[in-house]
Chain A
């Protein structure tokens, strides 16, 4: 059967095309993938200029990453929930409640921190499974089922903190999760003023990134898969290398990589691996794209729903731990509006309400964009009311962009 065949452009032969033109075409074709990174660059650039560099100072960047942490992990879990066409509104107060449970366990029950953290993560998984039971087994719309959770965990949080009010956490290990930094290697005489362990990790990250990109490019060219020209490829490598290198350098100037940043990077790396490389990841996206087709292909939609909500519950627990640790205490209002921040971050990061579309990395960038806006506008002394309006505009713009580029595809 003869179908009209779109010849893949062999760009290797188009070396005469001016770089700007080629960049334009490359960006246009891959706009959905890079728009968030570009937006983040632009926003950070604007704030850097507007605050005379204060925004990209070591101290502020560390703060920014630590503030993003507890929303970013929620946004990553939320990405998968939205991908399978559901929503989870319970995550905010679940995080707050489980943070309070952790605080109570350490202060009132005198449990050691290394028992408390797995216990709380386990409770998060159970909470997620309760949601997925309501959604997958009883057929209750996720919006309603998790709204019940929102109410319930809010009540539970208030009950737990009613007697004492704010619970102060004195465990240093626990508090380091949200405030501490990775240890440095001993001073060997060079770069004495810098955090050397962070620099080494940054170099390692750059090396791994370059190796994997070059390897996958060589592989595709062996298989005759069309790809961007060498110039665009090198430009991309240079940009990402500069980004990782720059961030590492700035962070090294202060106290290095925070534990929160390490945790977020590990979570992102793990979820990126699951969603892009594994059968489970592919099945999650298949369920999001077409649940009926997935079921007919022998994929259990129920099982996927359980897995996704359980992971969301676990990440809610992690978010609660990060937040409580950062504040060194559990408060009566912890977790308020986290769910909406996470949902906003996921949408800004390119998740589609139609289901089946959305990347973990995108949601991390989305979370960074949203926190950068808050942090940058705070530094500039912009009224909080205007801050909300600006964030509203960014969220709306992101969704409009998503809809507009989607229609162009069809």
Chain B
């Protein structure tokens, strides 16, 4: 995937460090996400993937390092800050309220208000349902009804709703934490198709995944983390078999492209 060299990256994280007590979870990680790029983030357990993404989504405040969104330095003190800057996170367990319907979940925390009665805001159901319907159509997601309760949907459908919700408010970056981990084979393919659809529509996406074939299928570029450091940053190419062997070599520490920087 060729990237215009002169364009400003959507996200740039520089030298991010984060410790929890004596444990150094991130030891100075750099990450660049270009516009309309799907970046895979891989690594063994405790490599720092989730921590890095929690820093980007505002859940953690880094000890050191800076974050630039479209070239502008930003400081997030909570997830809402990050959301306001257009950074949306899709959580592994969907983070949906199963007792509410699809439209309610898409607009959760951002309800469209029709008018106020004293301290109470009256919602505009029709507007929200209409916009949800349009959103699902645009993303080619088919559900029986936007009034369907989420608890009645399949795992793949729920993940689709979670992703749709992340894209509903002009997100600049969509971070997906293990989007296919809990899904059946058929549902996994549906979600991957959806990610491809989002990319075709111009979204910039970071995917954390254990499933290397997912990254191989939809990713443009891949970053491997190991023990809180970046050890590999490379375009996704070649065939799946070689790709897998290569990634595993980085994950277990057999290869390291940034060893010089670590010792420097």
Name A residues whose Cβ lies closer than 8 Å to a Cβ of B. Answer: 1-3, 5-6, 8, 219, 223, 225-226, 274, 277-280, 282-283, 285-286, 288-290, 292-294, 296-299, 355-357, 409-410
Contact = CB atoms under 8 A, between A and B. Distances in A.
Given A3-B143, A298-B80, A278 B97 contact: no
Given A282-B111, A289-B99, 5 more contacts: A226-B145, A286-B104, A290-B97, A294-B97, A356-B100
Interface stretch (B37-45, B119-127, B229-237, B238-246): B119-127
Please classify how large the interface on chain B is, using the bins under 10, 10 to 19, 20 to 34, 35 or more.
35 or more
Contacts of B145: 8, 225-226
A286 B121 contact: no
B113 A3 contact: no
Interface string B118-156: 001111001001000000000111111101000110101
A3 B120 contact: no
Contact of B109 (A289, A299, A355): A299
Query: Most chain-A Cβ atoms within 10 A of its Cβ — which of B100, B121, B151?
Result: B100
Contacts, number: 104
Contacts of A297: 95, 108-110
B96 A356 contact: no
B193 to A, nearest CB: 4
Interface of B: 79-80, 83, 89, 91, 94-100, 104, 108-111, 113, 117, 120-123, 126, 129, 139-145, 147, 151-152, 154, 156-157, 160, 190-191, 193-194, 197
A278 B122 CA distance: 4
Contacts of A299: 108-109
B109 A298 contact: yes
A357 B152 contact: no
A3 B95 CA distance: 21
A288 to B, nearest CB: 7
Contacts of B79: 296, 298
Given A1-B190, A3-B160, A286 B141 contact: no
Contact of B144 (A2, A6, A298, A357): A6
A288 B121 CA distance: 20
